[in-house]
Structure 1
């Protein structure tokens, strides 16, 4: 049984279940960039009342909403209304992802649902003439990491800075579109959104598990970017959220071709975080079911998974970072204590480093600021533009 929510009055959807409330709030928040519609999210939440904690009911209701919105997208496309179809395909993609996140053990049905995540998002981007999205594969240790690349306006004529945008423990590259991709493009920064090891398609379809030495994935992405004529290879940064706060910081500490780093949420000692969760019989605040840990690490038990997490500590690593560093965290983050953010920031070896802790009073105090993305995302993307040479004003 997941702990009831402690001090977060904004999380009122399922007050006795943090996991469900956090994910419902996230679905609501993604409406700001077209990942959902508040009315559709509200209908799912209402349908789930009385079934809190039944993850297969969660799956069924979110999948049903995905199916409903997919039908809307297909009808709009058949009638030649490309932009309307694109918007609906994006929402369908995200609802299928919301459904599949809680589905364990993974099987053929969950895989089929996740393929809808990928296919709907690709169809959405193909139908939108306002942006050019390239769906690509990044060579990686005899396999490849799925990604999409979006060049900033004018990058073909004037090579642009780029942000390698990774998600976290349980996110995916498609979610990154709704979180900050459009804001980065508006500031003249191209985006490479990556399903890194243990994440998204990489774990589901290519059996690439989570690993602690994340600079291997970052180096692969850098090699790919440096081959492009529309990329300014001297202005490549990295950003990632949640557990990605570790991915980004580890990558920038070990791979000095990166010129800026944003940890969107602190991760100081991920082994300790999960040890405490396991010792509490998974009663602490979780972003996804506890089974995700064993599955994403490619192991067979929690003990074995904890062994993989031994390397997920930044002490002794982040001291080696040299590029500008931004760490953002929430004052009332119920998954990772704010004390970890201060420890991580103090240890960082960069001379140019900034920490921003969002408070309950202003909003953005929850994990990865899911309670107020509209205050946190502009702060993050403005900082990246100032360090990589983008445009805070939006003008070229």
Structure 2
């Protein structure tokens, strides 16, 4: 993994993810070079210095984009809005839930992302999935060349701290679209707009929001309702297999990074003071995500997030991808997840090795290798389903 901030894993993760979305290393260096000292402190509050640097960079790009618009340079403006969205979202996700400027940065990210989509003609439809008495915000990306009867579609949930915009910007939507598969990128409860705007917190029963997404897609005439699958990354490596186990309408499943026993992982992190964490202010963040007011309450909820005794219910094809050098979740969790899918018609594990790249958590060190692996498998599996396999 590119270690721009020395041995600070959490900050390096942010840089690698930003680059995977399309950030420019020169812009990162110009804005971040002076804050490297702060990264060495291992103080969660040092992330506020990074926030000032990256949100300042985003604001400058936003200004330049608006200057382009005044000269009717729409495509150039769109690309600057894209990079502004990247720096805003990365600055925001690194902060404490209580950080005063976090809300404004998130709203700026949403606006810049919308401008990017509009000005560069991205194939994105902003949709709302009916859910209980509210909605789940989502992005619908249609497949290229939709045939009569509709295209297959993947429901894509987030992880612990990413958003639907991040998923789109890293290119998963485009990769699936170009392979004839539509995708619904969803801010499921506990992440993105679902958490920040709707107040929806996370919980173990992922089949509940998954069912809402299936029912939304069943109402679209451009979706083949007999070929709807689910995928998710990181913490979603629990949610996607859990949903597939309890929702038979899901015809395939991808865990982009395994998460067999999230509760055990959290207890290890808490007791060992592990520093390989996805965001600073980690324990404040997970309490916010799960709507808990104490570590004890959060850990009790996390204990329910295990796939033990569940995976025999998965009958559809399932792919688990995992990095050999994943410092957050052990490879053993991925191996156990696949081994216990004893009734799946096709249960496969793909391990990204160090010599090939993509070996870190969710392939953040070389994210496009990970995306290609998943998108190819989904395309092949959806074709098999079309021809009557995996019944």
What's the TM-score once normalised by structure 2's chain length? 0.92
For 1:331, the equivalent position in structure 2 comes to 324
The correspondence for 1:273, drawn from 265, 277, 295, is 265
1:331–1:358 CA contact under 8 A, matched in 2: yes
Shift of 1:240: 0.9
Name the SS for the 1:50 alignment partner.
helix
- 1:360 partnered with 2:354: yes
Q: Which runs of 4+ in 1 moved over 6 A?
A: none
What's the TM-score once normalised by structure 1's chain length? 0.91
Task: Measure the CA separation in 2 of the matches of 1:360 and 1:44.
Answer: 30
- 1:383 partnered with 2:377: yes
For 2:242, the equivalent position in structure 1 comes to 250
1:290-305 alignment runs, 5 A limit: 290=282, 291-305=284-298
Name the SS for the 2:19 alignment partner.
helix
Do the aligned partners of residues 256 and 44 (structure 1) sit closer, same or farther apart at CA in structure 2, a change above 3 Å counting? farther
For 2:387, the equivalent position in structure 1 comes to none
Name the SS for the 1:73 alignment partner.
helix
For 1:139, the equivalent position in structure 2 comes to 130
Deviations 1:130-165 (A, max 9, x none): x43211111111111110112123337551111111
Tell me, which stretches of 5 or more residues in structure 2 are unaligned? 385-391
Shift of 1:340: 0.8
The correspondence for 1:19, drawn from 4, 7, 10, is 10
- 1:46 partnered with 2:33: yes
Q: Which moves more between the two structures, 284-293 or 43-52?
A: 43-52
For 1:151, the equivalent position in structure 2 comes to 142
Cα root mean square deviation, aligned: 1.6
- 1:93 partnered with 2:85: yes
Shift of 1:114: 0.6
The correspondence for 2:20, drawn from 11, 29, 45, is 29
Name the SS for the 1:287 alignment partner.
coil
The correspondence for 2:340, drawn from 337, 341, 347, is 347
Q: Which moves more between the two structures, 172-181 or 120-129?
A: 120-129
1:13–1:45 CA contact under 8 A, matched in 2: no
Task: Measure the CA separation in 1 of the matches of 2:13 and 2:120.
Answer: 30
Task: Measure the CA separation in 2 of the matches of 1:82 and 1:377.
Answer: 29
Shift of 1:308: 1.5
Q: How many residues align?
A: 375
- 1:113 partnered with 2:102: no
Tell me, which stretches of 5 or more residues in structure 1 are unaligned? 1-9, 391-396
Do the aligned partners of residues 150 and 55 (structure 1) sit closer, same or farther apart at CA in structure 2, a change above 3 Å counting? same
